[in-house]
Amino acid sequence: MQGTDLNKVVNPYLLLTPGPLSTTHRVKRQMLRDWCTWDKDYNQIVQQIRNQLVNLATSQPGYTATLMQGSGTFSVESTIGSVIPVDGKLVVLVNGEYGRRIDQIANKLGISTVVIDSGELADADPQALDKVLREDPQISHVAMVHCETTTGMLNPLKAIGEVTQKHNKVYIVDAMSSFGGTAIDMAELHIDFLVSSANKCIQGVPGFGFVLANYTSMTAIKGLSRSVSLDLYDQWRCMEDNQGKWRFTSPTHVVRAFAEALKELDGEGGIAARQHRYSENQTTLVTGMLRLGFKPLLDAKLQSSIITSFHNPQHPNYNFNTFYEVLKEKGFVIYPGKVSQADCFRIGTIGDVWPSDIDKFIEAVETSMYWNTD
């Protein structure tokens, strides 16, 4: 049974956002029980989650998962601040706000950084990366956002990974908005560290992120962290040595909800089935919006199935805030734009959202186009 109808009992609107997103009643119900962070039953749940995440990330042996309290950005900062040595140098491939955030984190931590900015409407350029790595042998690490939700851009994981491997650099991927909804094999793509969050495509609730890596990469970062609470190695070592125990208080209710979300993912048919649904959602959305006269920001070949940006209507009576409130009254919440060079808004197609929901959303948009009336 799709959870959307049941959710309407407690949710006045559907979140068409890239996360936090609409979750099922089944997931939310798991947060009604309290858990002790020291109890073996709870820690067994943590261990099960860690193993399931690894199985989703690669078919190859030798990988491990570390859970980290906080939003996804906490896990990104934990990774950047824990894996790059004092004499290391990072190149960041940027084409949106979240790539810029990685650069901001690195600068704040005093890490030497080079930025390759392809602009918000172009994907990451493997040739540009190859040139920079050839010219600057001091670079030790490469970081990129897979799905840049500033626009909905899907960056080329494989091509960037091949260049990074050729130059023997450490490859860090922010897969915040794609992991669980897009097929990724870390081993095949040469990804050393992959970062994501509970409240994205696995359809849990906000409260923690996670970092996936192979054991060799994890053991190599001992003592490198610039933080106590965000020390990725120490967090991993504690979970390894104590069978799922977190160093500091963990978000127990969120963890239990995430364990249920993983069961839902498996029940849906795994990542392939979820990717198919998200793709169908996005295709239905674009087809309907085009019919109503809305133009997508990105070329279709660059577009992810996670979130889509649309140009705001060029009409003197149109106002995004008014449009937003009208749609909210009709049961749908969308995102404002975040692109610096274009006036747009964004619609997410992940979470407990189905093609039938998108059909209803298109109907709501059509009846909300107040600016086209006299």
Spans of the chain below 70 pLDDT: 1-10, 373-374
Sign, CA dihedral 267-272-276-278, equals positive
Two tokens at 334? 């969308």
* CA–CA separation, 67 and 3 (whole Å): 27
**What pLDDT, in 10s, does the model give residues 58-93?**
999 999 999 999 999 999 999 999 999 999 999 999
Q: Which helix (H) or strand (E) holds 143?
A: strand 141-145
**Topology of the domain comprising 4-24+270-369:** Aspartate Aminotransferase, domain 1 (3.90.1150)
Q: Do 292 and 286 touch, CB atoms closer than 8 A?
A: no
The domain over range 31-265 is classified in CATH as 3.90.1200.10: no
Task: In the chain, list all ranges with CATH 3.40.640.10.
Answer: 31-265
* CA–CA separation, 166 and 163 (whole Å): 5
Task: In the chain, list all ranges with CATH 3.90.1150.10.
Answer: 4-24+270-369
What one-character-per-residue DSSP string does 200-216 give? STT---SSEEEEEEEHH
**What pLDDT, in 10s, does the model give residues 266-305?**
999 999 999 999 999 999 999 999 999 999 999 999 999 9
Closest C-alpha to 144, from 110, 116, 165, 167 = 116
Q: Do 171 and 184 touch, CB atoms closer than 8 A?
A: no
Q: What's the pLDDT score for residue 10?
A: 67
